[in-house]
């Protein structure tokens, strides 16, 4: 099977004037296949969020190549990048901060459709339908981000990410800012969406326990490098690196 | 006990909030009255502001001539009204120009960064390096007198302030997740700036420009007073005061009338600006 996304030696070096060079992501390669869920686990500062931003091209890639369905998108800009965003979408860590405080949730959810020339009336209908799919009632379309709870906002963020029908969904610590029960609900929602829409998912998390049942494959990152790779069971039962062992102990 | 202590502060906050609202309405009404006077100055002035009649020159205020007459026998009240119109309209024009130009420059610099940012910010440094009014004087005298040139000179020295505010606002908005989300939604830079960056950074800029109306009115009148603004016989508050300054002791109404007009206009605009700032201040309001 053709991989849907291929990362080939992705490297990010922060090289700011007056500061020491810092390698946040160090030659990371992996493939993502259609419909599979890839978990990326690591502690804060291990480079997983930077990696997510590189894959979604929100930050520049210093070295290496990135392919989407066989086409290189490492340095594409403008129109070509916008076309790539039809296939790659992202759910952010902090739900309220990922919506413009001056626009309604409905506006935010419909923005990608509006950008693709869908008429205003149809965008509104679609936003309401998406909200319903994600377990929110239609009146949430007219609410502002500060008027809803974190869990509700994250549901809206998922609705927004799914609006354009992407092939890849990147969840960057999508449940970290939520409390445990809401976390579970969001995981269920993501799981359901993944099944229904056959989306490939990159699930970034620092909690090994949470990804165990959710992911098909697991990468463990430490200081910008991949230290462990395999199915969750393999990784958890036979950890090879010391860092992974520490992570597992932390969960138990 | 703690509950009891808490109640008055909440009530105080509400009272302050409603207090600000009343003030805002009051000053908005005052400003509206001022603006109506300014707009219809030509229609409500009792005499032709430029008609000379030396037989009635330098008469003190009376029922016939409410603010007296100047040395050419022109009715001061009519001239003050028309002068107010010239001053206020050119000031508003100036403030709009610097707000729009400064904000546009600042947002583009903040959003795109790079060479554009360096170049524009260095130019603004140059404009800020000289004492404001002195620099404006230099530009105005270089261009020659005239109201347009005075407005231009003041615009050159005052746009950098807006550019800097807009730039710093844009820099803080640019790195938020909702801008990332807007990029993922497939918006191009112009769409993102108009939909997300501008609405989220415009607040402090608007407050600054409202507070600046009074200052600019004074500075424009100042340039005219020095002979670099409106040229006679155009009635403008600054040059009217300048024309009457030698008669301050003998015929004080010639200079006091325009002075009061400037004072009143500046106070009204400043009070409105202050109240507007208080109104938008998040510490005085709980966003509902």
Look at A12-26, A52-66, A111-125 and tell me which has the smallest mean pLDDT: A12-26
- Considering the domain boundaries, does residue B57 fall inside one? no
What residues of chain B lie within 8 A of the CB of A116, using their CB? Answer: 186
Q: What tokens appear for B131 in the block?
A: 């004492």
pLDDT in tens, A135-180: 999 999 999 998 899 999 999 999 999 999 999 999 998 888 888 8
Which residues of chain B carry a pLDDT beneath 70?
Answer: 1-17, 282-288
- Considering the domain boundaries, does residue B151 fall inside one? yes
- Considering the domain boundaries, does residue B56 fall inside one? no
The complex's ipTM works out to 0.89
**Could you tell me the residue range of the domain that residue B35 belongs to?**
2-51+63-284
Q: What tokens appear for A98 in the block?
A: 């990922």
Using only C-alpha atoms, chain A has a radius of gyration, in whole angstroms, of 18
- Considering the domain boundaries, does residue B58 fall inside one? no
pLDDT in tens, B109-141: 999 999 999 999 999 998 888 888 888 888 888
CA atoms within 13 A on the CB side of B106: 27
pLDDT in tens, A181-220: 888 889 999 999 888 888 999 999 888 878 888 899 999 9
Least Cα separation, residue B215 to chain A (angstroms) = 31
A146 shares contact with chain B (CB less than 8 Å): yes
Distance CA(B142)–CA(B87), nearest Å, equals 22
Using only C-alpha atoms, chain B has a radius of gyration, in whole angstroms, of 23
B176 shares contact with chain A (CB less than 8 Å): yes
Burial class (CB in 10 A: 0-12, 13-18, 19+), A112: buried
Cβ(B80)–Cβ(B67) below 8 Å:
yes
- Considering the domain boundaries, does residue B188 fall inside one? yes
Put simply, the chain A residues between 11 and 40 with a CB less than 8 A from any chain B CB are none
Q: What is the DSSP string of B214-239?
A: HHHHHHHHHHHHTTSSSPTTS--HHH
Domains belonging to chain A, first-starting first, are 1-87+167-252 (3.40.50.300), 95-165 (no CATH)
Cis peptide before B233 (omega within 30 of 0): yes
- Considering the domain boundaries, does residue B274 fall inside one? yes
Distance CA(B40)–CA(B46), nearest Å, equals 12
Cβ(A136)–Cβ(A86) below 8 Å:
no
Name beta bridge partners: A172.
A204
- Considering the domain boundaries, does residue B30 fall inside one? yes
Least Cα separation, residue B189 to chain A (angstroms) = 9
Number of separate domains in chain B: 1
Print burial letters for B263-277: b (CB count within 10 Å at least 16), e (below 16): eebbebbbbbbbbbb
Q: Cβ–Cβ of A111/B182 closer than 8 Å?
A: yes
Q: Report the SS3 class of residue B233.
A: coil
Q: What tokens appear for A210 in the block?
A: 């949470």
Beta-carbon neighbour count of residue A24 at 10 Å? 21
Q: Which residue has the tokens 């809803």?
A: A148
Would strands A5-14 and A22-32 be described as parallel, antiparallel, or unpaired?
A: antiparallel
Q: Identify the CATH number of the domain in which residue B247 sits.
A: 1.10.3720.10
Q: Cβ–Cβ of A78/B188 closer than 8 Å?
A: yes
pLDDT in tens, A86-98: 999 999 999 889 9
């Amino acid at each position: 099977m053709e991989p849907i996304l291929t990362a080939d030696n992705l490297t990010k070096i922060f090289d700011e004037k007056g500061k020491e060079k810092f390698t946040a992501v160090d030659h990371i390669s992996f493939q993502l296949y259609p419909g599979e869920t890839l978990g990326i686990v690591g502690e804060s500062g291990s480079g997983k969020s930077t990696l997510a931003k590189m894959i979604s091209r929100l930050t520049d890639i210093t070295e290496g190549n990135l392919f989407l369905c066989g086409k290189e998108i490492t340095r594409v800009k403008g129109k070509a990048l916008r076309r790539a965003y039809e296939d790659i979408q992202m759910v952010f860590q902090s739900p309220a901060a990922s919506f413009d405080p001056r626009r309604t949730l409905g506006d935010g959810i419909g923005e990608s459709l509006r950008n693709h020339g869908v008429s205003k009336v149809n965008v509104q209908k679609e936003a309401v339908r998406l909200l319903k799919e994600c377990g929110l009632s239609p009146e949430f379309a007219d609410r502002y981000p500060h008027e809803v709870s974190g869990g509700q906002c994250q549901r809206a963020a998922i609705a927004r990410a799914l609006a354009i029908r992407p092939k890849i969904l990147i969840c960057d610590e999508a449940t970290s800012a939520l409390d445990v029960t809401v976390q579970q609900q969001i995981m269920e929602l993501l799981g359901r969406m993944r099944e229904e829409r056959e989306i490939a998912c990159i699930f970034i998390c620092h909690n090994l326990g949470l990804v165990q049942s959710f992911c098909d494959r697991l990468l463990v990152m430490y200081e910008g490098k991949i230290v462990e790779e395999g199915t969750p069971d393999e990784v958890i039962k036979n950890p090879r690196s010391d860092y992974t062992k520490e992570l597992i102990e932390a969960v138990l | 006990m703690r509950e009891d202590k808490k109640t008055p502060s909440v009530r105080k906050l509400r009272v302050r909030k409603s207090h600000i609202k009343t003030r805002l309405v009051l000053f908005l009404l005052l400003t509206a009255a001022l603006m109506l006077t300014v707009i219809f100055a030509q229609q409500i002035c009792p005499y032709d502001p430029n008609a000379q009649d030396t037989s009635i020159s330098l008469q003190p205020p009376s029922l016939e001539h409410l603010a007296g007459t100047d040395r050419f026998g022109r009715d001061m009240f009519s001239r003050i009204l028309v002068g107010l119109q010239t001053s206020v309209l050119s000031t508003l024009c100036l403030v709009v120009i610097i707000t729009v130009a400064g904000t546009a420059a600042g947002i583009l610099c903040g959003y795109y960064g790079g060479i554009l940012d360096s170049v524009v910010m260095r130019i603004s440094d140059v404009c800020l390096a000289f004492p404001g009014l002195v620099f404006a004087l230099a530009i105005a005298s270089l261009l020659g007198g005239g109201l347009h040139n005075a407005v231009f000179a003041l615009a050159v020295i005052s746009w950098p302030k807006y550019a800097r505010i807009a730039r710093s606002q844009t820099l803080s908005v640019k790195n938020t997740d909702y801008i990332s989300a807007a990029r993922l939604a497939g918006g191009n830079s112009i769409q993102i700036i108009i939909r997300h960056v501008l609405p989220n950074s415009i607040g402090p800029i608007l407050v600054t420009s409202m507070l600046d109306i009074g200052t600019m009115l004074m500075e424009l009148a100042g340039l005219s007073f020095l002979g670099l603004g409106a040229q006679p016989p155009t009635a403008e508050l600054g040059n009217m005061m300048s024309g009457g300054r030698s008669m301050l002791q003998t015929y004080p109404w010639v200079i006091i009338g325009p002075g009061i007009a400037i004072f009143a206009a500046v106070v009204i605009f400043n009070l409105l600006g202050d109240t507007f700032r208080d109104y938008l201040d998040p510490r005085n309001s709980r966003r509902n």
